[in-house]
């Protein structure tokens, strides 16, 4: 029906309803706009669209893509004609005259052929196209075989080698440009003769020859602009009127003043009561601390961390725990072997009023809570005063939350891994480095003394 309207030039009189469900021609006839129809082109391709979509397309075949899509959206058409199918739809309903025209001039479409005739032509076209395609394949295959045989016979059975392109040198390129310029300059006094002669002169290589003298002059100019750079030998070689005597004097002066590092060796001790005494390391008594009396000896003496519960299960009694061990000082700090004592009840061991015994305390392993020092004597009870006199160190397990009070104290921190025992030596080394440095500056009387 829609095609009959096109043939009778009544398409412009047809109206699509606002809801896009019907197309009406006056009051006499109406068609369902949602009906899907199949449209077949002359090349055998086909497509399916609703009558509403086809109507909006053929109503103005020369309209742009966006106006057509906007019209489909206005009438609730959900299957607009694709760009690739536009030729098929317009050609089927309006004929080839409209699809081939590009001047947008209106003209009446020729009457379409009968449906049966169109179908027969389409079948004949398909058959002819298929036969032509097979013949083309056979010809291409025959040509390739003949070409392969000719190349094998010419090359003696070997593969043909492609001729490599030779790169053009700068001289060859200039020669070619000169030839072109000469040819253009042959015009003499013609209309473009002067321009060609100027171009030939500009492209000429005259005056650009490079002579050995020019090369020597360029090298000499470059050398004058270079900054001299010395090697390892020239850098160590003293400049004129200079030597390293000043460096030697500084070294000698430092050696003479080396007593500042170990003042107890050359200067009389200020606290003579500490000379020859054993330094004390105080441990936390809480069971939640990783280091207690149960495993402190193994860690501080041998750099091995054994959990407290493992030590208890091993059958060791607390009265049999070792409280004294020897530690070898670093050679950078004078070397020697020093004997340390560990305890977790300093009030019972040192007394409450004997401050000379409390001077032996060189390190306190803190639990991170101030109640650890509540019953200690004056000068050691407050964390600020305590860690001014003794080296403070906190040992925790990796991943545990740190006590909030710890951030207010002058305490170094070390952490033990829960399962990587090879990392125990890191915490061990940090503790002894800090303690030895503190003893050199605050408690030098407790360090080993050289007799010479």
Question: In DSSP terms, which residues pair with 365 in a beta bridge?
Answer: 393
CA 247 to chain CA centroid, Å, is 48
Q: Are 388 and 409 in contact (CB under 8 A)?
A: no
Q: Quote the pTM value.
A: 0.42
Residue appearing with tokens 């403070």: 392
Task: Categorize the per-residue pLDDT at 364 as very low, low, confident or very high, splitting at 50, 70 and 90.
Answer: very high
- pLDDT of 157 > 50? The answer is no
Angle, to 10 degrees, between the axis of helix 193-203 and the axis of helix 170-185?
A: 160
Q: Would you state the pLDDT for residue 43?
A: 79
Cα atoms in the 13 Å half-sphere on the side-chain side of 194: 1
Q: What is the pLDDT of the chain when averaged over all its residues?
A: 77
Q: What is the mean pLDDT of residues 345-369?
A: 90
Q: Would you state the pLDDT for residue 353?
A: 84
Q: Would you state the pLDDT for residue 279?
A: 94
Q: Are 388 and 397 in contact (CB under 8 A)?
A: no
DSSP assignment of 292-319, as one string?
-TTTHHHHHHHS----HHHHHHTT--GG
Q: Would you state the pLDDT for residue 131?
A: 58
Cα–Cα nearest to 444, from 318, 270, 299, 202: 270
At residue 390, what are phi and psi to the nearest 5 degrees? -125, 155
- pLDDT of 421 > 80? The answer is yes
- Among 20-24, 187-191, 423-427, the range of highest mean pLDDT: 423-427
Q: What is the mean pLDDT of residues 384-399?
A: 91
Q: Would you state the pLDDT for residue 41?
A: 81
Higher pLDDT, 34 or 132: 34
- pLDDT of 172 > 80? The answer is no
pLDDT tens-place string over residues 102-143: 344 444 444 444 444 444 545 555 555 555 555 666 666 566
Task: Categorize the per-residue pLDDT at 83 as very low, low, confident or very high, splitting at 50, 70 and 90.
Answer: confident
Q: Are 56 and 77 in contact (CB under 8 A)?
A: yes
Do the strands 15-16 and 22-25 form a parallel or antiparallel pair, or are they unpaired?
A: antiparallel
Listed as own residue / partner, the contacts of 13-17 with beta carbons closer than 8 Å and 24 or more positions apart are 14/55, 16/52, 16/55, 16/56, 16/75, 17/75
Q: Collapsing DSSP states into helix, strand and coil, what is residue 15?
A: strand
Longest dimension (CA), the chain: 133
Task: Categorize the per-residue pLDDT at 94 as very low, low, confident or very high, splitting at 50, 70 and 90.
Answer: confident
Q: What is the mean pLDDT of residues 350-368?
A: 90
Q: Would you state the pLDDT for residue 452?
A: 42
- Interatomic CA distance for residues 153 and 150, integer angstroms: 5
Please give the angle made by the CA atoms of 284, 286 and 292, to the nearest 5 degrees. Answer: 55
Higher pLDDT, 34 or 110: 34
Q: What is the mean pLDDT of residues 373-392?
A: 90
Residue appearing with tokens 């966006």: 66
Burial degree of 296 (CB within 10 A; 0-12, 13-18, 19+): buried
Q: Would you state the pLDDT for residue 9?
A: 78
Task: Categorize the per-residue pLDDT at 276 as very low, low, confident or very high, splitting at 50, 70 and 90.
Answer: confident
Higher pLDDT, 4 or 46: 46
Burial degree of 274 (CB within 10 A; 0-12, 13-18, 19+): buried
- Interatomic CA distance for residues 81 and 43, integer angstroms: 18
- pLDDT of 219 > 70? The answer is yes
pLDDT tens-place string over residues 398-417: 888 888 888 889 999 999 98
- Among 15-24, 233-242, 267-276, the range of highest mean pLDDT: 15-24
């Amino acid at each position: 029906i829609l095609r009959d309207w096109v043939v009778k030039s009544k398409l412009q009189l047809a109206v699509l309803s606002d809801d896009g469900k019907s197309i009406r021609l006056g009051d006499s006839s109406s068609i369902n706009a949602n009906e899907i129809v199949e449209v077949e082109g002359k090349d055998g391709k086909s497509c399916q669209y609703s009558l509403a979509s086809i109507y909006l397309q053929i109503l103005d075949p020369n309209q742009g893509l966006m106006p057509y899509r906007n019209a489909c959206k206005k009438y609730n058409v959900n299957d607009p004609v694709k760009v690739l199918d536009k030729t098929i739809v317009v050609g089927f309903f309006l004929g080839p005259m409209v699809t081939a025209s590009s001047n947008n001039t209106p003209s009446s479409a020729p009457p379409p052929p009968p449906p049966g005739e169109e179908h027969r032509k389409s079948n004949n076209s398909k058959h002819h196209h298929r036969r032509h395609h097979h013949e083309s394949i056979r010809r291409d295959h025959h040509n390739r075989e003949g070409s392969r045989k000719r190349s094998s016979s010419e090359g003696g059975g070997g593969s043909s080698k492609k001729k490599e392109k030779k790169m053009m040198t700068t001289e060859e390129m200039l020669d070619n440009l000169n030839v072109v310029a000469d040819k253009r300059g042959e015009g003499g006094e013609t209309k473009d003769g002067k321009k060609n002669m100027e171009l030939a002169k500009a492209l000429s290589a005259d005056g650009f020859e490079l002579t050995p003298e020019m090369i020597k002059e360029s090298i000499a100019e470059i050398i004058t602009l270079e900054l001299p750079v010395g090697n390892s030998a020239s850098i160590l070689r003293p400049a004129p009127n200079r030597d390293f005597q000043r460096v030697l004097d500084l070294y000698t002066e430092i050696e003479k003043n080396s007593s500042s590092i170990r003042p107890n060796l050359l200067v009389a001790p200020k606290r003579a009561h500490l000379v020859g005494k054993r330094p004390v390391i105080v441990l936390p008594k809480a069971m939640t601390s990783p280091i207690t009396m149960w495993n402190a000896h193994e860690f501080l003496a041998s750099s091995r961390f054994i959990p407290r519960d493992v030590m208890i299960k091993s059958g060791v009694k607390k009265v049999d725990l070792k409280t004294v061990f020897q530690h070898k000082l670093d050679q950078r700090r004078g070397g020697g072997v020093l004997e340390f004592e560990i305890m977790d009840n300093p009030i019972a061991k040192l007394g409450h009023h004997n401050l000379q015994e409390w001077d032996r305390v060189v390190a306190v392993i803190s639990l991170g809570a101030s109640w650890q020092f509540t019953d200690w004597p004056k000068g050691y009870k407050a964390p600020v005063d305590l860690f001014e006199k003794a080296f403070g160190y906190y040992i925790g397990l990796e991943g545990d939350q740190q006590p909030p009070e710890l951030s207010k104290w002058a305490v170094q921190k070390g952490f033990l891994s829960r399962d990587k025992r090879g990392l125990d030596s890191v915490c061990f080394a940090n503790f002894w480095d800090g303690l030895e440095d503190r003893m050199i500056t605050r408690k030098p009387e407790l360090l080993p003394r050289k007799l010479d």
